[in-house]
Amino acid sequence: MTSGNVGHNQAKDALIKRLAHNFHNPTLLDEALHHSSMVGRNNERLEFLGDRVLGLVISETLMNKYPQADEGELAKRLSALVSRESCSEIAQKFNMAAPLIHDQQNDNIMLSDNVMANLCEAIIAALYLDGGLEVASHFINEAWAPILQAMTDVPANPKSDLQEYTSREGLGLPSYKLIDTSGPDHAPVITVEVSLDNGARVSANAGSKKKAEIEAAQSLLEKLITGTGEIS
């Protein structure tokens, strides 16, 4: 066994202890730890499932924690809790990237919020498939508890706020368009434009399409409200 294999196995064993779950099917965790840069076997399918499991568990937690909240408030809280940033924060907290298997030619791959968030979701899916919803829920509720506790106010949702403003002012609904995608896979630069029927438009760059849309919406909303700056 090479030193690299020993280091990987030690990192994986340490992660299992942090997850507080002994896998009945270890291949699930192995799959979760294979980055999408690996040919033939990677964690993209698990990431897809983990995203849905996370959304379900957090949605139920919010329903129980805020029994008087309406759908709009719950949606804003959910969006913040399952965001790329929140998932990346959890991945870093549990040092999930330590045993991550990826293309060795891309040593900076683990620095991306997208990569870390995808890894977190893949591991959630592995927990769910191996131990069921109870195991996945326990991990999610324990891991996200500090973030949920710190969320005293309803998080801002620029896209919803922009839509409410433009509808109220008779400006129609905002339209979002992907303008450009550049940069390497581990550090993409996504450009998105938001526009209105009256010709007002603003573009923004970010590391994900969702974040670029949020930043563009926030920028356009601020300019519409203040009446300052170029919006076309």
Q: How far apart are the C-alpha atoms of 116 and 51, rounded to whole Å?
A: 13
φ, ψ for residue 116 (rounded to 5)?
-65, -40
Cβ atoms within 10 Å of 44's Cβ, excluding its own = 12
Q: How far apart are the C-alpha atoms of 169 and 143, rounded to whole Å?
A: 41
Burial class (CB in 10 A: 0-12, 13-18, 19+), 2: exposed
Burial class (CB in 10 A: 0-12, 13-18, 19+), 54: buried
Encoded tokens for 15: 């992660």
Collect all residues with Cβ–Cβ distance below 8 Å to 23 and sequence separation of at least 6. Answer: 16, 29, 126, 130
Any idea which residues carry the catalytic annotation? 51, 121
Q: DSSP assignment, residue 155?
A: P
Q: DSSP assignment, residue 109?
A: G
Q: How far apart are the C-alpha atoms of 176 and 194, rounded to whole Å?
A: 4
CA dihedral of 4, 40, 113, 214, whole degrees rounded to 10: 180
